């Protein structure tokens, strides 16, 4: 629930979250983010490879990207770029 609190304090272009969390799952978080923070992109990381879960998230229009664990840094960068962030297409340290 910390993510929803921080989203009320500042604008974020991108939220990278896990699917499996204690109080709310990543899909429910993404849904709440999309309701209140238009333009914020959401990528969900998951080790749950059940086809129905990944299909639901991929085809929902709520989740902008899905990262299946395990993944490496290059895969994460590619997914972030695929959802349109960073805007300039350049990475900084």
Of the candidates 68, 7, 78, the residue with the CA atom closest to the CA atom of residue 15 = 7
Cα–Cα distance measured from residue 46 to residue 53, given in angstroms and rounded to the nearest whole number: 10
**CB under 8 Å to 51, separation ≥6 — which residues?**
none
Residue 2 pLDDT > 60: yes
Task: Supply the pTM of this predicted model.
Answer: 0.83
CA R_g for the chain: 13
pLDDT-based confidence at residue 16 (cuts at 50, 70, 90): very high
Angle, alpha carbons 65-19-34 (nearest 5°)? 55
Q: Give the model confidence (pLDDT) of 17-69 as tens digits.
A: 999 999 999 999 999 999 998 889 999 999 876 777 777 777 778 999 999 99
What pLDDT, on a 0 to 100 scale, did the predictor assign at position 19? 92
What pLDDT, on a 0 to 100 scale, did the predictor assign at position 38? 80
């Amino acid at each position: 629930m910390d993510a929803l609190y921080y989203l009320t304090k500042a604008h974020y272009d991108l939220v990278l979250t896990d699917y499996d969390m204690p109080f709310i799952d990543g899909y429910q978080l993404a849904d709440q983010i999309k309701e209140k923070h238009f333009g914020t992109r959401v990528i969900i990381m998951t080790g749950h490879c059940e086809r129905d879960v990944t299909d639901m998230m991929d085809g929902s229009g709520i989740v902008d990207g899905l990262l299946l664990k395990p993944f490496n840094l290059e895969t994460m960068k590619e997914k972030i770029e695929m959802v349109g962030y960073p805007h300039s297409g350049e990475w900084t340290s």
